[in-house]
Structure 1
C-alpha cells in the first residue's frame, strides 16, 4: 500500500477540548481513567487545560468511549456539558463580538487557543449561509464523535450571541445516522441531515449578521489585547494550514493552489516558497488529504462510489477508481466490504 509523502508535524490540541470528559464518561457507566490510559492520556493531563495532546488521542478517546458505553451520541453529551467559560480567556472576546459571524471568524483566528485540529469556514449562499466544520486528524478513521461535539459547541457560540432559543435551519453530517435521534433534536432543535455533503450548519445570513445587543467594544478590545499576549501553542505550520484548507475546500471543488493561497492571505509564489521551506509541496498535501477523506467516506458513510469520486474532485468514477487502486492496492468496493463495521 502506498504511504503518505507530504512531510507534516503531528497535530496537537489543548487538553481543554476534553473538558468534562470524566464526568460525562462516569454518567455513562464508564471507567474514565482506564479509557484515558488506553489512548495514552491521564487525569493529570486533562487537569491542565493548556497541555498539548495528540489530536488522534482525543479523537480515539471519544470513539472508544462511545463504543464502550453503547452511547452513539457521546460527542453530543460532551458538547452539552460545555459552557462558554470553558473556552478560557477567549470566551470574553467571543461574547462581545458584534455578530455571530464575527464570533466565528474570531474562533478561526484564535483556533490555536481552542482546537488546532478544527477547520472552519463560512460560505455565503444568498439568504442562507453554511458554516462548514472539519476535524483534521493525522490518521484516517472514524471521527464522528469529535465532529458532532464540534457542531454542538458551535451551537453554544451561536446562542451566546443570538439567545438560548436560537436554532439553525438545518445541521449536516457526512457520516451515517446511528441510534436514537432524540439527542440531536434536543441539542439542535432543527432538521438533521446525515450522509450530507458537509459537516456543519445551515443558517440564515440575517442571523449570522444580526447585531449582538450585548456587545461591548471596549471589553472586546481589552480581551483581544490580553489574548494577543498569550504565546501560541507551538510554531505555526504552513503545512497544517494548507491541509486544513484542503479538508474544507476539496469537497467543494475549490482546492486549487490559487484558491488555497488566496484564502491564506498570500500569493501562489509565497505559498509555494513557504511549503518548500517546510520540505512539502502542494500536490502531495492534496493527495494526502484526498487519501484520508477517501477512507473516511468509503468506510464511514453510505455515499455511493460515484458520490465519493465527486467529493474528492473526480469528474468520473473510472478516474477515481484508477487513483484509488494506485493508492491502496484495492478497489473502493473491496475496502468498503473489508473495513466497514459489521
Structure 2
C-alpha cells in the first residue's frame, strides 16, 4: 500500500470549471475550499488527493444544487481523464489487456481503491472496492467512478457493448433520480447492493481496442496556448508521458508530429537535448512526489520512468547531493520506504 493517501491525475478536473460556470458557480472558490491548487485545472501531470477531489465534487453538487455533477463531468471527459494511464493503454490490443493494465495502475497510484474482475458464464463483472470510509458511500464518488468507467469502456470498444447492469452500494435516492441513472447508463439500475459494479457481456474481453491516438494529441496541444514555444510543447508532452513509461524520444516525436531526427535538430536549435529535458523534468517531479505524496520510493522511481530504485537514487544524489529518503524523512516522517 502507498501510505495513507490516494491520488488522481489532475486530468480528472478537465471540464469542471465549465460545468461550475454554467451553473453560476465559482470554480476557484470550490477548489480553494477543497484545498486543491487552482493551477491543477490547467495541467495534466499534477497529482491531487482522491479525498480532496471527491470532497470538491460533493461540496460543489451540494452548494449549487447540482446532483448530476459527476455524471455530467464524466460524460464531458474523454479517456484522457486517466492521465498517464491513457498512454499505457495504447500498448493493449484487447479489452482484457486494457483492464489488466488499469488494475495494475490502480495498485500503484490509487491505493485506497481497487478494481476486481469476475468472470461468470456469460457475464463480466467489474467491481470497485474502497477502504476510505468518507469516500466509499459518497454519491459523487460512486457516480463519477461508474460513469467514467463506463465511458472508458465505450471509448475502448465503442457503444456496441452496452451495460447489462449498474449497481450502487448506497441507498436509493428516489424514482426521479432513478430515471436519470437509467437514461445515462442505458441499463437496469440497482441500489443497496453488496458491490459497486457494472456488468457486461464477457465477450467484450476479446474485442479489439479502438482508441483514437488523435484525441490525446489534440488535447495536449489544446492545453497549450497558441503562442507556446516549441520547447514548452516538448516538455508538456514528456511530462504527460513520463509516468506511462513511454517518454522516449521516438514516442515524443510521434506525438508532436515530427520525425526523431527533426525533433533532435529542433532541440539542438534551442540549445538543449532530449536527455537534458528529461533529466530536468525528473528532477522537478521527484521533489513533488517526495513532498506532496506518500508514494514509496520504489513507486516514485517507477513514476519517473526509472527501471529500478538504484538508478533513481543515483540521479537524485547527482541533483541534490543527498538521497531521496532524506528529503522524504524531512517532509513525510512516517512514510514507508
- TM class, shorter-chain normalised? 0.5 to 0.7
Higher relative contact order (CA 8 A, sep 6+): 1
Q: Which moved more, 1:60-69 or 1:225-234?
A: 225-234
CA contact (8 A) 1:55 1:137 kept: no
| Map of 2:192 onto structure 1 | 195
| Map of 1:205 onto structure 2 | 202
CA contact (8 A) 2:35 2:52 kept: yes
CA contact (8 A) 1:118 1:133 kept: yes
Alignment TM-score, normalising by the size of structure 1:
0.57
Q: How does 1:239-278 map to 2 (within 5 A)?
A: none
CA contact (8 A) 1:135 1:147 kept: no
Q: How does 1:1-342 map to 2 (within 5 A)?
A: 8-94=3-89, 97-111=92-106, 115=110, 117-137=112-132, 139=134, 142-178=137-173, 179-207=176-204, 209-212=205-208, 214=210, 227-228=244-245, 236=295
1:278–1:65 Cα change, 3 Å: closer
CA contact (8 A) 2:2 2:296 kept: no
Render the CA deviation track for 1:122-149: whole Å, top value 9, x for unaligned.
0112221210013443746742212211
Give, in whole Å, the separation in 2 of the partners of 1:228 and 1:96: 11
Alignment TM-score, normalising by the size of structure 2:
0.58
Q: Which runs of 5+ in 1 are unaligned?
A: 1-5, 217-222, 241-276, 280-342
1:211–1:39 Cα change, 3 Å: closer
Give, in whole Å, the separation in 1 of the partners of 2:135 and 2:78: 30
1:41–1:215 Cα change, 3 Å: closer
CA contact (8 A) 2:11 2:44 kept: yes
1:193–1:163 Cα change, 3 Å: same
Render the CA deviation track for 1:231-252: whole Å, top value 9, x for unaligned.
79566559x9xxxxxxxxxxxx
How many aligned positions are there? 230
The alignment partner of 2:129 has SS state of strand
Give, in whole Å, the separation in 2 of the partners of 1:34 and 1:225: 31
CA contact (8 A) 2:158 2:210 kept: no
Give, in whole Å, the separation in 1 of the partners of 2:112 and 2:156: 24
The alignment partner of 1:70 has SS state of coil
The alignment partner of 1:146 has SS state of helix
The alignment partner of 2:244 has SS state of helix
1:201 Cα deviation (Å)? 0.5
CA contact (8 A) 1:171 1:192 kept: yes
1:204–1:29 Cα change, 3 Å: same
The alignment partner of 1:227 has SS state of coil
CA RMSD of aligned residues (A): 3.6
Give, in whole Å, the separation in 2 of the partners of 1:101 and 1:7: 26
1:87 Cα deviation (Å)? 3.0
Q: Which moved more, 1:174-183 or 1:59-68?
A: 174-183
Give, in whole Å, the separation in 2 of the partners of 1:146 and 1:202: 18
1:98–1:19 Cα change, 3 Å: same
CA contact (8 A) 1:25 1:31 kept: yes
Give, in whole Å, the separation in 2 of the partners of 1:24 and 1:129: 33
Give, in whole Å, the separation in 2 of the partners of 1:187 and 1:197: 22
